[in-house]
Structure 1
């Protein structure tokens, strides 16, 4: 039992930091991906999830471009066992988090003393930046991906030290495949193994290749299936901030985000569910944020050069952070986010390895008094981490709570105001919704989704003349939005602007969208009835897809 004490302590800290999420319901993306997702409610068809995209297909929008079948199957199992209640989902997240924290300790123990490895596991277990991944059910994808990659990394370290066996090769390859199927981030697993090189015994490249070959086969097979299912090699649709922005300015924006990452990893007192403009400012040149980001990168370079021999685990931790941030760095390709706390779940493993490695180096030759003072400081940090995590988790209780809190956390985020406006629509607070949409557009006027949402709100409240303007603005920014075009056809027909409605539908037909043939028939029918009865025009709204 004593041999398991560090693992039990680490797991206990993770539970203490996350148990307050158990009363939570479903919030934000949980609603569309779990509550309103028929695929999750059918456990008997679970194998079909491996042939479907992560986001459910929407008429006139199409399937998503993400592929996470293992995570969706996990949701289906939890839905069936828990009969759709959120408690089981959150319990699985909490227990999964504790397991990942123990795996962090286990990996650290391969290179550090038991006490310093426990420090790494404990800091990971109470880190407040993890709340989003744990308290929001869809964050399970982060948990499973990190868990599989940590298990694979531990097996890889053991194989390098004790020799490769068929069992170890198979385990490492299986962990890689499972990580990829849980979330696309799993694809970077070979880079994490590369980051471990400074702390592993040297072996000939031929021996390394014997392990890397199965990983290459897994990567090719996964990529082929993913491409066949999603129809694209790329990921999700780029964030509106990246559309039309030249690469140098995207890189400068992300340089500013580096300091945000550093702050969230080192001192995550202030947290937010959203980091959209103008909480993060899209760079048009060098500024204070870029200077701060450059300073962080300079400090990372200093740590790498200073401790590459004294504490090589520091270099490994920094390499782990760099590799796991690469998919969301928006450098190789623009992603659907600028920054998000959930994306720091895996990088934080590297961060705690760096802290533990430096702590072990610092402790060498220190007096007993200095060690006790440091120990007291660590205890204070752990208590603060538990407190911040425990008080943050209830923010994710439901969408209404989350949206209201996000306005306080990120008052200059246009997306926070857009989400709040949507909640006001559901609450039938028309004036508040209209004001929130207007302010969101004032903050950032290049996202067609906000115009589309505002148009659907105006349409719902009987103001099709206002809705038409919003739909036209959305299509001006993103001409390919077929759902927006369909809604525009409906409003134009309601206003008896039949020629314009017909022109929009015909333009879509020329693009090959045959769904608009039905809308053309409905426009003609509405016009005929209007001429016949000379009464209130018949709206198309009931037969057109509405905004969820």
Structure 2
């Protein structure tokens, strides 16, 4: 009985330790070796607005407010209120080192190492190949395209969402073949919730579960799998309720989908936002410049722009030259413009390659489909 309880109380320990603690520590150390030169630099770009100049983030005592369940019902008076995990990490940094900015950069570097370590664990679980897992983690750790995410403290939300999302996949994969499935899948759902509260891109997690089950099939009771996916759907529904009142990208004459939903059906989101929007401090809902309205006004312009961005992202993954801090693209006016055409070709090639590799190289297929799903 005691042995069984030990296995339930510590789900996932075997999964997280299997690739080797030394490998995990080596990845974290390598992350610091790669990015240690960032430590003395002052804040730049969005870090001024979203980190350094926010009064709420200057008081470590506000950590209790962020971690309180009330923050799920009351909108916090701070930019980034929809990302409480990110806010909590910044307030912890503030408590550890006061206003010294190096601590924020050190935490970003640490989270980058955590992200690589979580990917190491997931790839090992899927392939049972230590070399493949180390290669995937090293590529993620060293790829130049991730440098912007590490360099900007504002972008720590991406690192946190990715890490928690991958850990959720790790717990799920371990649970598929474990007698402690219920405890492990509960851990997966907890990590999924943490990922959502870090950044909204984690909403693609259920799709990754379906893709992983297709490419790496294992015998799992249908009812158990259906119940897990139903729990994911319930979490997503609750998250939409939480996220919608905390949206804030608005233009002249239009607004983002969450703000539009709240404007049409405010009563649906009242349980998640007991604070009057008029009471929010100025600037808590940033306004997007009217010059960017063309990105949102026409759905076809948005689609063409997305395809152009996909083409540029593919180029950066294969040849990360000419990295820059701002990737705001010009909206293409025609379908035959180079950006949309190349993006459509890239999408077709990636889908075709994923289909062809699904049996011989399921990990490569999973990676390609992951890129498409998260875009």
Work out whether the TM-score is over 0.5. Answer: yes
**Which has the larger Rg?**
1
Residue number among 140, 165, 187 corresponding to 1:149 in the alignment:
165
CA contact 2:295–2:301 (8 Å) conserved in 1: no
Whether 1:171 and 2:187 are equivalent positions in the alignment is yes
8 A Cα contact 2:296 2:302, kept in partner: no
Name 1:414's counterpart in structure 2: none
Contact 2:28 2:113 in 1 (8 A): yes
Partner of 2:9: none
Supply the distance in 2 between the matched residues of 1:106 and 1:169 (Cα, whole angstroms): 16
2:371 to 302, 308, 321: 321
Equivalent residue for 1:109, pick from 103, 106, 124? 124
Deviations 1:381-409 (A, max 9, x none): xxxxxxxxxxxxxxxxxxxxxxxxxxxxx
Change (3 A) 1:324 1:285: closer
One of 158, 174, 179 as aligned partner of 1:158: 174
Distance 2:104 2:132 in 1: 32
Structure 1 gaps, min length 5: 57-63, 326-548
Q: Give the Å deviation of 1:324.
A: 1.4
Q: After alignment, is 180-189 or 289-298 more displaced?
A: 289-298
1:106 deviation in Å? 0.9
Post-superposition offset of 1:48: 3.5
User: 1:426-465 maps to which residues of 2 (within 5 A)?
Assistant: none
Counterparts of 1:402-417 in structure 2, within 5 Å, are none
Structure-2 change in CA distance of 1:165 and 1:263 (3 Å): same
Residue 357 (structure 1) aligns with: none
- The match for 1:46 is 63
1:305 CA drift (Å): 2.6
In the alignment, structure 2 segments of 5+ residues that lack a partner are: 1-16, 249-255, 260-285
Map 1:294-373 onto structure 2 (within 5 A).
294-325=344-375
Q: 1:227-306 to 2 correspondence within 5 Å?
A: 227-230=244-247, 234=258, 240-242=292-294, 245-277=297-329, 280-306=330-356
Give the Cα–Cα distance (whole angstroms) in 1 for the partners of residues 343 and 227 of structure 2. Answer: 39
- Cα gap change, 1:176 to 1:259, in 2 (>3 Å): same
Q: 1:6 aligns with which of 10, 17, 23?
A: 23
Shift of 1:314: 2.2
Identify which of 15, 35, 40 aligns with 1:23.
Answer: 40
Could you say if the C-alpha distance between residues 241 and 163 of structure 1 is closer, same or farther in structure 2, counting changes exceeding 3 Å? farther
Q: Is the 8 A contact 1:195 1:317 kept in 2?
A: no
Determine if contact 2:120/2:137 at 8 Å carries over to the other structure.
yes
Give me the whole-angstrom Cα distance separating, in 1, the residues matched to 2:230 and 2:203.
Answer: 15
Higher alpha-carbon deviation: 199-208 or 79-88: 199-208
* Structure 1 residues 130 and 145: alpha-carbon distance in aligned structure 2, compared to 1, 3 A threshold: same
Instruction: Give the secondary-structure state (helix, strand or coil) at the position aligned to 1:194.
Output: helix
Supply the RMSD in Å over aligned alpha carbons: 2.6
Cα distance change on mapping 1:199 and 1:274 into 2, 3 Å? same
Q: CA deviation at 1:25?
A: 1.4
Separation in 2, partners of 1:53, 1:196 = 36
Q: Distance in 2 between matches of 1:255 and 1:223?
A: 26
Structure 2 distance, partners of 1:266, 1:179, is 27
* Bigger mean CA offset, 309-318 vs 115-124: 309-318
- CA shift at 1:234, angstroms? 1.4
Change (3 A) 1:179 1:54: farther
What is the CA-CA distance between 1:222 and the residue it aligns to? 2.5
Does the 8 Å CA contact 1:10/1:118 hold for their aligned counterparts? Answer: no
Structure 2: how far apart are the matches of 1:173 and 1:248? 36
Change (3 A) 1:256 1:195: same
Work out whether residues 145 and 185 of structure 1, in 8 Å CA contact, stay in contact via their aligned partners in 2: yes
Residues 249 and 285 in structure 1, CA contact (< 8 A), matched pair in contact too: no
SS at match of 1:10: helix
Q: For residues 352 and 162 of structure 2, what CA distance do their matches in structure 1 show?
A: 28
Q: How many residues align?
A: 315
- Deviation for aligned residue 1:15: 2.4
Q: CA deviation at 1:217?
A: 2.8
Shift in Å at residue 23 of structure 1?
1.4
CA shift at 1:178, angstroms? 0.8
Judge conservation of contact 1:252–1:286 (CA < 8 Å) in 2.
Answer: no
- 1-side partners of 2:95 and 2:163: how far apart? 23
| Residues 424-456 of structure 1: CA deviation (Å, up to 9, x unaligned) | xxxxxxxxxxxxxxxxxxxxxxxxxxxxxxxxx
**Which residue number in structure 2 is paired with residue 383 of structure 1?**
none
**1:35 corresponds to:** 52
Could you say if the C-alpha distance between residues 237 and 314 of structure 1 is closer, same or farther in structure 2, counting changes exceeding 3 Å? farther
* Distance in 2, Cα, partners of 1:168 & 1:264: 36
